[in-house]
A and B are shown apart, each in its own frame.
Chain A
Amino acid sequence: MSNIPDDLKYTKSHEWVRDNGNGTVTVGITDHAQELLGDIVFVELPEIDTEYGADDATGVLESVKAASDMYAPLTGEVTEVNEALDDAPETVNTDPYGEGWIFTMKLDSMEDLGELLTPEAYTEEAEA
């Protein structure tokens, strides 16, 4: 059973979203997603200062097995990317909700967060 923290929001495409309380959110992939992917060897990060629409591809995670797209959970502008993943992509496997974060976004509207999945809803999604 994978770890699904209570204090985060989720997407159907297995991203987690943390409200930073200042108009930005931090985005990563869930424990369930990293388990499915296996050992991650390369993270193609999104471009800083670039606007992405909800569900736009923001980058790619490559594991030893396969390449998998990552998506913007909501509409907004990417403000920071986790450059430490360039040298240590495996952090996404070992600490998906912590040091393995992937990027932060300034959302067009924080109210959009309500469109995301709750931990309960994501648990159902992940178990399906």
Chain B
Amino acid sequence: MTDTENTPKQTALYDKHLEAGGKMVDFAGWEMPIHYGSQLEEHHQVRTDAGMFDVSHMVVVDFTGEDVKSFLRHLIANDVAKLKEPGKALYSCMLNEDGCVIDDLIVYYLSDIHYRMVINAATRDKDLAWITKQVENFSVDIAERDDLAMIAVQGPNARAKALGLLDAETAEKVDALKPFYAYPMGETFYARTGYTGEDGFEIMVPNEEAAELWDALKAAGIEPIGLGARDTLRLEAGMNLYGTDMDETTSPLISGLGWTVAWQPEDRDFIGRTALAKEKAAEKTQKFVGLVLEGRGVLRGHQKVITDNGSEGEITSGTFSPTLKKAVAMARVPVDIGDTCTVEIRGKQLKANVVKPMFVRNGKSLLEA
């Protein structure tokens, strides 16, 4: 692993980030822009217009071969058998034998012998090691696509602005994509997916074409957005972050991800099923909720949550929501939590309201007035 020692890697868009004034930080071994000036302005740019993120650090893996479907039905907790139309995507957790989360991912069905998976950058090595270990008895080839860059184009105007750059035939196909569908066009791959709670695309493109696409998107009025705003956007949208909201010690059932586990058909033997079924049958002690701080202040990961009964939980991720102008958080708490609770911030007990862990979608607040 000499190539990853200490020196952070650069994506194909590194020079573009410098050009745009990106403040570069080390993120999971990659030199990535945290912001280009103001994280707040970038956040609003995505909620109200269109922004783009370099997400080339994320890991694209192609699975091919005759056993690919049966392998993936074993590997991940959601069921790829649900995917019947080419291009359809599925969000899933990959579990260990304890039923806890190794990573969360998106898998695209391209054909019966070809699926494409996108996993997190921070978990690349352990994910690939785990997958390689599990694949032994299957006839499946695994190819990491580090030849591809990925740009996420997000916001209410993102689709329209991006579509204007495509040739008529491609534009028609890409425009027709329903949410959570993808369309491969040669080596370029257009997916109507994202991590912001806004409409848009995630576009995979060969590394050597990435800078040109970036420039064209920028010329179309799509502004560069850093990873800082990506985090506040995903949190407002109630989307989990691996390593923060769930990890190898927490199951999807206590991470707000129970909906991603496909229990039917009952005879599908996915990794972690036995442990997870046992947890499901036992009495529930924890759940995953959203919190909104009533007064002023900022909720952060690891702050203590105290229910009215005095039992304790913890915030998994929190932030100041630029859209709502309030602090919001996701938290893992005892099941006895009521409609309100207190959060301990620097020794003070502050009141918070307990809500569903989803705060903003398509530019609009989901909180009751």
- Identify the A interface with B (CB < 8 A): 38-39, 41-42, 44, 60, 62, 64-65, 67, 86, 90
Quick one: given A60-B346, A64-B232, are A44 and B297 in contact (CB under 8 Å)? yes
B300 touches A67 (CB 8 A): yes
Query: Are the CB atoms of B297 and A39 closer together than 8 Å?
Result: no
Residue of chain B at shortest CB distance from A86: B296
**C-alpha spacing A67/B319, complex, angstroms:** 11
A86 CB, min distance to chain B CBs, angstroms: 7
CB distance from B318 to the nearest CB of A (A): 11
Kindly list chain A residues whose C-beta atoms are within 8 Å of the C-beta of B297.
42, 44, 62
Q: Are B296 and A64 in contact (CB under 8 A)?
A: no
Q: Does B38 contact A (CB under 8 A)?
A: yes
Say yes or no: A65 contacts B39, CB within 8 Å: yes
Taking a contact as CB atoms under 8 Å apart, the answer to whether B322 and A64 are in contact is yes
Task: Compute how far the CA of A116 lies from the CA of B319 in the bound complex, rounded to whole angstroms.
Answer: 34
Return A95 CB to nearest CB of chain B, in Å. 15
Dominant SS among interface residues on chain B: mixed
Q: Given that A60-B346, A64-B322, A65-B228 are contacting pairs, would A38 and B296 also be in contact in the complex, using a CB cutoff of 8 Å? A: no
Beta-carbon contact of B298 and A39 below 8 Å? no
Q: Which residues of A contact B327 (CB under 8 A)?
A: 42
Residue ID in chain B nearest A69 by CB atoms: B346
Q: Is the CB of A38 within 8 A of B300?
A: no
- CB contacts (< 8 Å) of B298 on chain A: these are 41-42, 62, 67
A39 pairs with B296, CB closer than 8 A:
no
Bound CA–CA A39/B42 (angstroms): 11
**A39: which B residues are within 8 A, CB to CB?**
38-40
Residues of B within 8 A of A60 (CB): 346
Instruction: Assess the A41–B228 pair: CB atoms within 8 A.
Output: no
- The closest CB in chain A to the CB of B296 belongs to A42
Which residues of B in the span 252-283 have a Cβ within 8 Å of any Cβ on A? none
Other 18 A-B pairs with CB < 8 A, given A41-B298, A64-B320: A38-B228, A39-B38, A39-B39, A39-B40, A41-B320, A41-B322, A42-B296, A42-B320, A44-B297, A60-B346, A62-B297, A62-B298, A62-B320, A64-B39, A64-B40, A64-B43, A64-B319, A90-B40
